[in-house]
C-alpha cells in the first residue's frame, strides 16, 4: 500500500471517530479528505484536483496559500503569537486602520471578533444598548450565523432546529424580483412594495421597540439576492426616520466579493454598523468584526461596552488581515473581481442559461453569482422543493456529483448553484469552470417536468 493510501486511511479513520461535523447527521456523511490546496484548486489523496467554485465557504477571496499571507502569518508567529486584547499592539492597530479606511462613511472604529456570527451578536448588542430598545428585524431570506441571536435572526431553514422564539427577532420579506413575495411586475415595483411592507411592519411592531434592522447587503446563502436599485437607500431612510440602527452584514460580501471592498459601495449606502469576517483574512486565520459609526462609538465613550472576547483582535489573525488587504490592494483583486463578473462570469453564465432550459435565472455581480434551477421555466417551479432532502433532492445531488466528476467543487443551496470562485480566479479557470458547468447542466435539464 502506498503512503498516500495510508495517509488517507489515517485521516479518514480519525475523522470518523473523533470529528463532529457542522450541520450534519454524523453517520450519514462521508467527508472528502483534502490533502492540499493552492490558488483556485484543492486536491484529495487520490489524485483528484477540484476547481473550487465555492471559495471554501465563500471566503478564500485571494485563493489558497497566497505566499505573501502565509509568510506574514509565519513572521508574526516568530515575533509574537499572542497578547491579551486589552493591550495596544502594532499589527492590530494596523489591521483596524486598514479596515476603517475602506469601510464607507464614518465607520471608523473596529471591534474585532473571531468570526461572523460573533460580529452579528455584538452589532445587535451595540444597537440595543445604543437605542435602549429590544427588537431586531431581519429578512426571511437571510443567513447571519449559528450563535443564538444570529441563528434566530437567520430566516432560512437552519433556524428551525434552533428557534428560541424569545430572541426579540421580527422577520420580514425583502425584495426578490424572480420570486416576488409582493406579486410585483418589475424591479421598481418590487422595490417600492418591499419598502412599503417594511415600513408597515415597523409601524405595527412599534418603532419605539425596534433597535435595529439587519440585512445582508447582497443576500448570500439565501441565493445571491441582489437588491433592486433604491432598496437599501429606502431602508436607510426608514431607519433614520424611526431612530433605528441600520446594520449591514457583509460577512460574505465584504472584501472584494462583489467587485468593491464592501458591497454597500455598489449602492452608495452607509450603515451604522457593518459586520465583516471571511474575506478579511481570506480565511487563513479566523477573524471577524464590527465597524462602528462615530455616533454609536460615542455611546461607549464614557460608558463601558459590556462585551468582549479573549481573542478579540488576535495578532496572528490581524497579521493575516494586514497581509491579505495588502495583497488585494497591490494585485488589484477587487477590480479583478468586478471585471471577472462583468466580462467573464456574467456573460458566460447567461450564455449557459440560453442553452439550458433548467436555468431559470442568472443573477449576481463580481465573483458572486447564482443560477436558479427550475423544473418548469414558465411556472418557475424550483427544481427541488424548499428545504428538500433525500429522494426529493435527488436532481440536485446528481448535478453535484456530475460537477465533482468533472473536477469542479460546487456550492449548492436548495435549487441553486452559487458561483463564487476566488476573487482573483484566472480567465482560463473561469472558462474551464463554465465548460464543466455546461456539461453538468445536462443533468438538471433532464430532470425538468
Ligand atoms: C452573511 C453572513 N453572516 C454571518 C455568517 C456567520 O459567519 P461565521 O460562520 O464566521 O460565524 C455568515 C456565514 O456564512 C454569513 O454568510
Measured from the CB, is residue 115 less than 6 Å from ligand 1? yes
Q: What ranges do the domains of the chain cover?
A: 32-62+332-445, 68-330
Distance 282 CA to ligand 1 centre (A): 14
Ligand 1 atom index nearest CA of 216: 1
Please provide the CATH number assigned to the domain covering 32-62+332-445: 3.90.1150.10
C-alpha cell at 174: 425583502
Nearest CA to ligand 1 atom 6: 145
Q: Please give the distance, rounded to the nearest whole angstrom, from the Cα atom of residue 153 to the centre of ligand 1.
A: 12
Q: Is residue 380 within 8 Å of residue 21, measured between CB atoms?
A: no
Ligand 1: residue of 251, 284, 286 to mutate (most ligand atoms within 8 A of CB) is 251
For residue 166, what pLDDT is reported? Answer: 84
What pLDDT score was predicted for residue 424? 98
What does the pLDDT read at residue 2?
58
Q: Where in 108-217 does DSSP place strands (E)? A: 109-113, 135-139, 169-172, 210-216
Q: What does the pLDDT read at residue 298?
A: 98
What b/e sequence results for 90-113 when a residue is b if at least 16 CB atoms lie within 10 Å of its CB, and e otherwise? ebbebbbebbeebbbebbbbbbbb
Q: Which ligand 1 atom minimizes the distance to the CA of 115?
A: 10
Q: How far, in Å, from the CA of 146 to the mean position of ligand 1?
A: 8
Ligand 1 atom index nearest CA of 57: 14
For every residue of 47-111, DSSP letters joined together read S-EEEETTHHHHT-TT-B--HHHHHHHHHHHHH-S---TTS--HHHHHHHHHHHHHSSTT--EEE
Cα-to-centroid distance, 78 and ligand 1 (Å): 30
Can you read off the three cell numbers belonging to residue 259? Answer: 467587485
Determine the Cα–Cα distance for residues 84 and 89; give it in Å rounded to an integer: 10
Give the Cα separation of 375 and 24 in Å (integer): 27
Distance CA 425, CA 368 (A): 12
Q: Is the CB of 251 under 6 A from ligand 1?
A: yes
Q: How far is the CA of 442 from the centre of ligand 1 (A)?
A: 32
Q: How far is the CA of 144 from the centre of ligand 1 (A)?
A: 5
Structure confidence by residue, pLDDT tens digits, 83-93? 999 999 999 99
- Cell digits for 206? 412599534
Contact 264, 271 (CB under 8 A): yes
Query: Phi, psi (5° rounding) for residue 212?
Result: -150, 155
Measured from the Cα of 120, ligand 1's closest atom is 4
Q: Could you tell me if the CB of 216 is within 6 A of ligand 1?
A: yes
Please tell me the predicted confidence (pLDDT) of residue 425.
98
Note whether 37 and 65 are within 8 A (CB).
yes
Quick count: other Cβ atoms within 10 Å of Cβ 416?
23
Per-position b or e across 192-207, b if 16+ CB within 10 A of its CB: bbbbebbbebbeeeeb
3-state secondary structure at position 370: strand
* Pocket flag, ligand 1, residue 120 (CB < 6 Å): yes
Tell me the three state secondary structure of residue 230. coil
pLDDT at 282: 98
Instruction: Give me 151's grid cell.
Output: 441563528
C-alpha cell at 63: 485563493
* Ligand 1 pocket residue status of 277, Cβ below 6 Å: yes
CA 187, 193, 196, 201 dihedral sign is negative
Q: Which residues of the chain register pLDDT less than 70?
A: 1-2
Q: Which of 61, 115, 124, 145 to mutate to test the pocket of ligand 1 (most atoms within 8 A of CB)?
A: 145
CATH number corresponding to 68-330: 3.40.640.10
Atom from ligand 1 closest to the CA of residue 277: 10
Q: Which three cell numbers stand for residue 209?
A: 421597540
Distance 143 CA to ligand 1 centre (A): 7
Q: Is 382 helix (H, G, I), strand (E, B) or coil?
A: strand
- Rounded Cα distance between 250 and 145, Å, is 12
Amino acid at each position: 500500500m502506498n503512503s498516500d493510501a495510508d495517509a488517507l486511511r489515517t485521516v479518514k479513520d480519525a475523522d470518523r471517530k473523533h470529528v463532529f461535523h457542522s450541520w450534519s447527521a454524523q453517520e450519514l456523511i462521508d467527508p472528502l479528505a483534502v490533502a492540499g490546496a493552492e490558488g483556485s484548486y484543492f486536491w484529495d489523496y487520490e489524485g483528484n484536483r477540484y476547481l473550487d467554485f465555492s471559495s471554501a465557504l465563500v471566503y478564500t477571496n485571494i485563493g489558497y496559500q497566497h505566499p505573501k499571507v502565509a509568510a506574514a502569518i509565519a513572521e508574526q508567529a516568530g515575533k509574537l503569537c499572542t497578547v491579551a486584547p486589552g493591550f495596544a499592539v502594532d499589527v492590530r492597530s494596523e489591521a483596524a486602520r486598514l479596515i476603517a479606511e475602506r469601510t464607507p462613511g464614518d465607520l471608523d472604529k473596529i471591534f474585532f471578533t473571531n468570526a461572523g456570527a460573533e460580529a452579528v451578536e455584538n452589532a445587535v448588542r451595540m444597537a440595543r444598548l445604543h437605542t435602549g430598545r429590544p427588537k431586531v428585524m431581519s429578512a426571511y431570506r437571510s443567513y447571519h450565523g449559528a450563535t443564538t441571536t444570529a441563528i434566530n435572526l437567520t430566516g432560512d431553514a437552519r433556524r428551525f432546529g434552533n428557534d428560541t422564539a424569545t430572541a426579540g427577532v421580527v422577520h420580514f420579506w425583502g425584495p426578490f424580483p424572480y420570486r416576488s413575495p409582493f406579486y410585483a411586475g418589475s424591479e421598481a415595483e418590487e422595490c417600492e412594495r418591499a419598502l412599503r411592507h417594511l415600513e408597515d411592519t415597523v409601524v405595527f411592531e412599534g418603532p419605539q421597540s425596534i433597535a435595529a434592522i439587519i440585512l445582508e447587503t447582497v443576500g448570500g446563502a439565501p441565493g445571491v439576492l441582489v437588491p433592486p436599485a433604491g432598496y437599501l437607500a429606502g431602508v436607510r431612510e426608514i431607519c433614520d426616520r424611526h431612530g433605528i440602527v441600520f446594520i449591514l452584514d457583509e460577512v460574505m460580501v465584504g472584501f472584494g466579493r462583489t467587485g468593491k471592498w464592501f458591497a454597500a459601495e455598489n449602492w452608495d449606502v452607509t450603515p451604522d454598523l457593518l459586520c465583516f469576517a471571511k474575506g478579511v483574512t481570506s480565511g487563513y486565520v479566523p477573524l471577524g468584526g464590527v465597524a462602528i459609526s462615530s455616533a454609536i462609538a460615542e455611546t461607549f465613550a464614557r460608558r463601558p461596552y459590556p462585551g468582549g472576547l479573549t481573542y478579540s483582535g488576535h495578532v496572528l489573525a490581524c497579521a493575516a488581515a494586514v497581509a491579505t488587504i495588502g495583497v488585494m490592494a497591490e494585485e488589484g483583486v477587487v477590480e479583478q473581481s468586478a471585471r471577472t463578473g462583468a466580462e467573464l462570469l456574467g456573460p458566460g453564465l447567461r450564455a449557459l442559461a440560453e442553452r439550458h432550459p433548467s436555468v431559470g435565472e442568472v443573477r449576481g455581480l463580481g465573483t458572486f453569482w447564482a443560477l436558479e434551477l427550475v423544473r418548469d421555466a414558465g411556472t418557475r417551479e424550483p427544481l427541488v422543493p424548499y428545504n428538500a432532502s433525500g429522494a426529493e433532492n435527488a436532481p440536485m445531488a446528481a448535478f453535484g456529483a456530475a460537477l465533482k466528476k468533472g473536477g469542479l467543487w460546487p456550492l449548492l443551496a436548495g435549487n441553486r448553484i452559487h458561483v463564487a470562485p476566488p476573487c482573483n480566479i484566472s480567465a482560463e479557470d473561469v472558462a474551464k469552470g463554465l465548460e464543466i458547468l455546461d456539461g453538468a447542466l445536462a443533468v438538471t435539464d433532464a430532470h425538468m417536468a
